[in-house]
Amino acid sequence: MNHAGTKTIETPRLILRAFMPDDVDAMRRNWVTDAEVTRYLTWQPHAESAATRALAERWARQAVEDPKFYQWAVVPKELGEPIGSLSVVRMDERTETAELGWCIGRNWWGRGYMPEAARALLVYLLREVGFHCVRAEHDARNPKSGRVMQKIGMTYEGTLRAAGVCNAGRGDMCVYSILAEELSQ
């Protein structure tokens, strides 16, 4: 594999880039403080700006220092500030598998930003980095996240019963994947 880290990626409407320490205000304004956004995630909404600042600084540092760190700010070109994040949350180098995770501010739900971003990331991870498989999973109570997985060409693998715990409690996890040879440009 050719680990290249959080490289800037451009799509028709988006810039996917590394986080910067000065993204804190946009992160707080656009998603990290919203309990509705984090309902099916494993981290709590940020009550304190210090937590957001520490996270943005850590992500910015890791993007520079670690070629195996994959964490993007999702930035609409017309807005110029992050509205969400997209990342490799787990990887297994033995099987050349990456697992994606994402979240986006509620004001931008249903506009097609996450499928656009995730599709560009699939191309990067499978074609440039050399992962063989990219996976994603979502809480069964959050079918909109599964819809993103379907839109980017992932195949539904199955549902793992009571396999996840998030802010909404224990739930079933729906698993999707795509192999490098299945990716069409």
Domain ranges of the chain: 9-182
Q: Which amino acid is at 94?
A: R
pLDDT per residue as tens digits for the range 51-95: 999 999 999 999 999 999 999 999 999 999 999 999 999 999 999
d(CA 117, CA 86): 8
Contact present, 156 and 120 (Cβ < 8 Å) = no
Q: Domain 9-182 belongs to what architecture?
A: 3-Layer(aba) Sandwich (3.40)
Express each pLDDT in 3-49 by its tens digit: 999 999 999 999 999 999 999 999 999 999 999 999 999 999 999 99
Which residues lie across from 10 on neighbouring strands?
A: 15
| Residue 85 CB partners (closer than 8 Å, separation 6+) | 19, 31, 71, 72, 73, 74, 102, 103
User: What is the Cα–Cα distance from 135 to 149, expressed in whole angstroms?
Assistant: 9
Residue bearing tokens 């739930």: 171
Q: Is the dihedral of CA 112, 135, 120, 80 positive or negative?
A: positive
pTM of the model: 0.94
Q: What pLDDT shows up at residue 27?
A: 97
Q: What is the DSSP pairing of strand 155-166 with strand 97-104?
A: unpaired
Q: At 50, is the secondary structure helix, strand, or coil?
A: helix
Please tell me the predicted confidence (pLDDT) of residue 184. Answer: 80
Q: How confident is the model at residue 185 (pLDDT cuts 50, 70, 90)?
A: low
Angle at 37 between CA 39 and CA 120, to 5 degrees: 120
